Amino acid sequence: MSGHNQFALLRQRRFLPFFIVQGLGAFNDNVYRQAIIGLLFYLGVAESERTLYTNLAPALFILPYFLFSALAGQIAEKLEKSRLIVITTTMEIVIMTLAAVGFLTESLPVLLVALFCTGLQSTLFGPVKYSVLPSVLRPEELTGGNGLVEMGTSMSILTGMIVGGLVFTLAGSHGPIVAATAVIALAICGNLAARMIPKVDAGAPDLKINWNPIPESLAVLRMARKQKAVRNAILGVSWFWFVGTILTAQLPSYAVTNLGGEPTLYIFALALFSVGTGVGSLLCEKLSARTVEIGLVPLGAFGMTAFLLDLYFARAGEATAQGLSITQFVHQAGSIRIIIDLLGIGLFTGFFVVPLFALIQSRTPKSEMSRVFAALNIQNSGFIVAAAVLGLLTQRLLGWTIPQLFLALAIANAVVAIYIFTIVPEFLMRFL
């Protein structure tokens, strides 16, 4: 089996440098975003101003996805892909140099401009990231390759958040210098890895680029809707981002209010979800017998609902204790159930999303692949913003608690799953 499992890809030049580049990119983005929050505390910024910045930061990062995804999809279709990855990682070095200036001068406006540019760079990288895999992997390797990328991304995001959050805690007065050095060093490492990626031919070298974002965005969204199975797989991936956004956005408050933990407990809760997603992503190849197995998608959806429901019943009210460390939390009655629920939600999320990516890649023509993934990015960013707004509105206007929001999410997830499976019976038939 060793020659045939997904880990063999990590020893091959067609996959490993790309895997490193995308992992380092996700890691650096999160180190940077958390270090900005660390700087706010370091500067002793008032609570109200801190809340403004923590809400403004994700919005600035997401905005370029709306504005430039269609353009990014066309560029990714027209250019040789390894060259484009080198260009985007070179951009990252320039952007992180600007960010370093922001840290060293302790200037929040400069850091926010750099954050917008980071979003722009991620927008350009997105369509290349997912359209490279079908060009370098054989059809039977797609599920395993996507599983590795998904696992790598979720682990990079988690470790990036932890490292970025610790920069100012551990480095103290040297925090700005350490943050500035770290983001530039990571960008340079990413660029060096990008130069090792073998040549990957352009999907449509003769494509005429339309520079007007609005009609082109509508055009790529139409292109992504041509095939029913692809259209619904894209809807499924966007739903995954919706669920993930609501969950991860609530975890900081949930860890303190409902689990009774110190703020560090939030990272533990996030780690459980991320590790679950990583393990689920890796198991997809094993469970699908090396084919693109969409029967895993209903299994993932029903598993997510079951564990979300249980998470509500495991702790429906506020915690009785407060200020618990991770060790103290683990020893509390009922905590093991919550830990299993968070791992379970992540695990089944991996089962849900990896086959959807593999399905989109296996059923989309090579000449349209990057633009279809650009459409996916536009739709994802819409779902992410909707999730953030809904999370706020249900709590502020309707007065819902976080467990009630999780309960609503479990019900909504079941409804969406049933909807997708009734319009594409293929998913359910494969599952049965």
State phi, psi for 261 to the nearest 5 degrees. Answer: -95, 170
The whole-model pTM stands at 0.91
pLDDT higher than threshold 90 for residue 297:
no
pLDDT for the residue numbered 193: 97
What is the distance between the alpha carbons of residues 134 and 157, in angstroms, rounded to a whole number? 24
CB 116 within 8 A of CB 60: yes
Q: Which two tokens stand for residue 211?
A: 């520079």
Q: How far separated are the first and last CA of the chain, in Å rounded?
A: 27
pLDDT for the residue numbered 242: 96
Per-residue pLDDT tens over the stretch 88-137: 999 999 999 999 999 999 999 999 999 999 999 999 999 998 899 999 99
Per-residue pLDDT tens over the stretch 251-280: 989 999 999 998 789 999 999 999 999 999
Per-residue pLDDT tens over the stretch 205-241: 999 999 998 999 999 999 999 988 899 899 999 999 9
Look over the chain and give the mean of its residue pLDDT values, rounded to a whole number. Answer: 92
Burial 334-358 (b: 16+ CB within 10 A, else e): ebeebbbbbbbbbbbbbbbbbbbbb
CB 361 within 8 A of CB 134: yes
pLDDT for the residue numbered 2: 42
Per-residue pLDDT tens over the stretch 150-194: 999 999 999 999 999 999 989 989 999 999 999 999 999 999 999
**Domains parsed from the chain with CATH numbers:** 1-207 (1.20.1250.20), 228-363+397-432 (1.20.1250)
For residue 196, name the pLDDT band (cuts at 50, 70, 90): very high
pLDDT for the residue numbered 4: 65
3-state secondary structure of 40: helix
Q: Which two tokens stand for residue 7?
A: 């880990």
Q: Which two tokens stand for residue 329?
A: 């939390």
pLDDT higher than threshold 70 for residue 27:
yes
Give, to the nearest 10 degrees, the angle between helix 16-42 and helix 142-171: 30
Q: Which two tokens stand for residue 232?
A: 């619904």
3-state secondary structure of 324: strand
Per-residue pLDDT tens over the stretch 387-422: 999 998 998 899 999 999 999 999 999 998 888 778
Measured CA distances, 225 to 165, 231, 233 (Å): 40, 5, 10
Residue 174 per-residue DSSP state: G
Q: Which residue has the higher pLDDT, 290 or 194?
A: 194
